[in-house]
Amino acid sequence: MNRRVGKTVSWQRHWLGMLLVAVVLVAVPFVAALGGQAWVRIANFAILYIFLALGLNIVVGYAGLLDLGYVAFYAVGAYTYALLASPHFGIHLPFWVILPFGAALACFFGVILGAPTLKLRGDYLAIVTLGFGEIIRIFMNNLNAPINITNGAQGITLIDPIRIGDFSFAQTSTVFGVSINGPHKYYFLLVTLAILVIFINIRLQDSRIGRAWQAIREDEVAAKACGINTRNIKLLAFAMGASFGGIAGGVFSAMQGFVSPESFSLMESITILAMVVLGGMGHIPGVILGAILLTALPEALRYGIDPLQRMVFGHPVVDPESMRMLVFGLALVLVMRFRPAGLWPSSQRRRELSEGTH
Amino acid sequence: MSEKPILLAACEVAKHFGGVKALHDVSLTIRRGEIYGLIGPNGAGKTTFFNCLTGLYKNEGGYFVFDGNRLAADAPHKAAAVGIARTFQNIRLFGNMTAIENVMVGRHLRTNANVFGAIFRNPATRAEEVAIVRRAEELLHYVGIHERAHDYAKHLSYGDQRRLEIARALATEPKLLALDEPAAGMNGTETEALRLLVEGICRDGVTVLLIEHDVKLVMGLCTRVAVLDYGEKICEDVPAAVQKDPRVIEAYLGGSVA
């Protein structure tokens, strides 16, 4: 995969590009704030979804394992944080203890899910993982009796924000003379995490492990014959993807201050998978694009459709929520019809999906 | 020849699919440094034998002793780890990876970088990665397709794909290289080039087990030949003797040759 490292791009241009990206990333929350705090939150969710989608990308994009229950790991991470940092049990551990613990627990669940499904492929794997995702959600929903662990459908409230010493992510504070409020802080935290996951994705892609994943995706029998322990390598993909899901869940918990099983529905799993597929499986920029589009589009519709309808018909005709599903479905169908490899696929994936071998 | 140590001994290996006996107590021994041919009509069980040997199938009876140890042939990657590499009858390359990447995958077994190495890219991992690339380049040179190193495997010509598969197998540092019909579909020139390549591999210390339909190639190349028919070994000898064996002639031509 050395060819992806563009050696012709001069270093100066490289750094200039990086600087530009950094400036844009810093500017985003302040620009978004002009349209209201809601847009900062939307930006935060977009980045959280980038993080999640890139975690799932390891499982689906790199190792080629179709996972429809990814949200289960997100839920495990979220509930771990919620239970260990809320008045529910009266435990208030610091985030730097819970986040790694949540990641480890999600990783454990990843292996639990991965181990029995190793021999399954494609649709069959998708069905089992889908079931797993639902099981976790239903557990969260019903683990309020006989012992109240998850507080059932009511969810857990008053979850601690992330706090470093006296620097709480829930309050506004002044850093270097600039006033930064809660959502802004989470924005920068999320950007840092997203950069980390992007870095890990890039590094993995171009490594011995990444090649093994690609080999398994291409031809599992041949990969085995080449001496790849496909069991371990697949479990590794599940475990890594799950860990990222766990971390994302923890941050979600802290950011929202509230979790309930509702947030971890099948629809959520499908949305994250759609981000990966729509953007371009296995291609980092594509997945990022997918995540941004699928987070921003519904919001844009929410804010845009209603005024538009009032303008055209004088009163709302279609409920924005159902309009959202319509547009979402239509977008998926159109992308799969005209760009089956995703909106911004890697050259690799485009080849895999093109019929001709010319 | 006979004083050379035994590398592989198959002892009464049996495999059946439902009622079909694909392999019926096949025993044979391959010595170090040999080019050992395995021939037989279609459906004789040659590829089944290969699959049992390399752990793709589980044999119901018998066992293999490889390099002094009994093979726990229950997983292909374990067979590869002890030093048995193979190619496939219907070429199985990683089509959307380049030729050199295919060979680099073959190095997986003999390299160690784990996830942390991959992420942090410490000096040891970087050195290993450089070594992987260098070794892959050498192997592509060795089989003679280095000019196509950065072409996608599926875009290579048929003959080059066969060579690439051999290079990938050699990357696992095998003691025994099992080739499943490497000359299938090749023309005369390509077959001749393949013969030279296999001879070279053997000279460089890798024992070769060869399944082949091209009898001329087998007879010219192999030191010893075993013949399978309906899952049974009917003959094992030097090529000249095998050619004259009446059972072999019967198996190939059918009926008696009175």
Same domain, B168 and B199: no
Q: Is B128 on the interface with A (CB under 8 A)?
A: yes
Q: Which domain holds residue A67?
A: 31-265
Residues B142 and B99 in one domain: yes
Q: Which comes out higher in pLDDT, residue A347 or B227? A: B227
Residue A83 lies in a domain: yes
3-state per-residue secondary structure call for A164-194: ECCEECCCCEEECCEEECHHHHHHHHHHHHH
Q: Is A224 in Cβ contact with B81 (below 8 Å)? A: no
How wide is the angle at C-alpha A35 spanned by C-alphas A34 and A39, nearest 5°? Answer: 110
Contacts of A203 in chain B (CB under 8 A): 118-121
Question: Does residue B89 belong to any structural domain of this protein?
Answer: no
Alpha carbons within 13 angstroms on the beta-carbon side of residue B240 total: 0
Q: Which of B135, B153, B173 is the last residue of a domain?
A: B173
How confident is the model at residue A354, as a pLDDT? 65
Could A223 and B105 be called an inter-chain contact, meaning their C-beta atoms sit closer than 8 Å?
yes
Number of other CB atoms surrounding residue B142 within 10 Å = 18
Q: Across all residues in chain A, what is the average pLDDT?
A: 85
pLDDT, tens digit, for every residue of B10-49? 999 999 888 888 888 999 999 999 999 998 888 888 899 9
| Residue in A209, A218, A226 nearest the CB of B172 | A226
pLDDT value, residue A356: 44
Q: Which helix (H) or strand (E) holds A162?
A: none
Residues of B in contact with A347 (CB under 8 A): none
Whether residues B178 and B191 share a domain: the answer is yes
Tell whether B73 and B181 lie within a shared domain.
Answer: yes
Has residue B103 been placed in a domain?
Answer: yes
Does residue A340 sit within a domain? no
Residue A140 belongs to some domain of the structure = yes
For residue B61, is it within any domain? yes
Q: Are B37 and B59 members of one domain?
A: yes
Q: Give me the pLDDT at residue A358, please.
A: 39
Residue B66 lies in a domain: yes
In a domain, A17, yes or no: no
Question: What is the chain B residue with the closest CA to A227?
Answer: B77
The runs of H, that is alpha helices, within chain B are: 46-53, 76-82, 99-106, 115-120, 123-143, 158-170, 188-203, 215-221, 239-244, 246-253
Token pair for A128? 């089992």
Domain check: are B169 and B195 in the same one? no
Residues 104-123 of B with CB under 8 A from A: 104-109, 111, 113-115, 117-121
Token reading at A262: 């509702």
Rounded distance between C-alpha atoms, residue A74 and residue A262, angstroms: 12
Mean pLDDT of chain B: 89
B209 interface with A at CB cutoff 8 Å:
no
Q: How many CB contacts within 8 angstroms connect chain A with chain B? A: 112
In a domain, B29, yes or no: yes
pTM of the predicted model over 0.80: yes
Residue A302 lies in a domain: no
Of B173, B203, B236, the last residue of a domain is: B173
Domain presence at residue B237: yes
Q: Is residue A242 part of a domain?
A: yes
Residues 6+ apart with CB under 8 A from B135: B103, B107, B171
Q: For residues B177-198, b (16+ Cβ closer than 10 Å) or e, as one string?
A: bbbbbbbbebeeebbeebbebb
Query: Residues of B with CB below 8 A from A198's CB?
Result: none
The conformation of residue B170, written as its DSSP 8-state character, comes to H
Res A332: pLDDT: 82
CATH of the domain at B219: 3.40.50.300
Q: Do B178 and B77 belong to one domain? A: yes
The two structure tokens encoding residue B186: 């090749």
Residue B51 is part of which domain span? 1-83+174-258
Q: Chain A closest CA to B246's CA: distance in Å?
A: 37
pLDDT digits (tens, 9 = 90+) for B165-204: 999 999 999 999 999 999 888 888 888 999 999 999 999 9
Number of domains in chain A: 1
Together in a domain, B130 and B203: no
Give yes or no: residues B106 and B131 share one domain.
Answer: yes
- The pLDDT value given to residue A349: 65
Inter-chain touch B128–A2, beta carbons under 8 Å: no
Query: Pick from B173, B207, B235: which residue ends a domain?
Result: B173
Q: What is the pLDDT of residue B196?
A: 93
Residue A67 domain flag: yes
Q: Are B69 and B6 in contact (CB under 8 A)?
A: no
* Inter-residue contact A216 to A63 (CB < 8 Å): yes
pLDDT, averaged in runs of 10, over chain A (358 residues): 51 83 85 81 91 92 90 94 89 89 94 87 87 92 85 87 78 72 85 91 90 93 93 93 94 91 90 88 89 85 77 76 78 86 77 55
Residue B90 lies in a domain: no
Residues B100 and B217 in one domain: no
Q: Is A179 part of a structural domain of the chain? A: yes
**Do B75 and B191 share a domain, yes or no?**
yes
Among B108, B89, B207, B202, smallest CA distance to A213 is for B108
Q: Considering chain B, what percentage of its residues have pLDDT values greater than 70?
A: 97
Structural domains counted in chain B: 2
Q: Is the predicted pLDDT of residue B163 greater than 90, yes or no?
A: yes
Interface check B126 vs A, CB under 8 A: no
Kindly identify which residue of chain B lies nearest to residue A347, measuring between CA atoms. B96
- CB within 8 Å: A226 and B98: no
CA distance A240 to A100: 13
How far apart CA A62 and CA A64 sit, in angstroms, is 6
B131 and B30 in one domain?
no
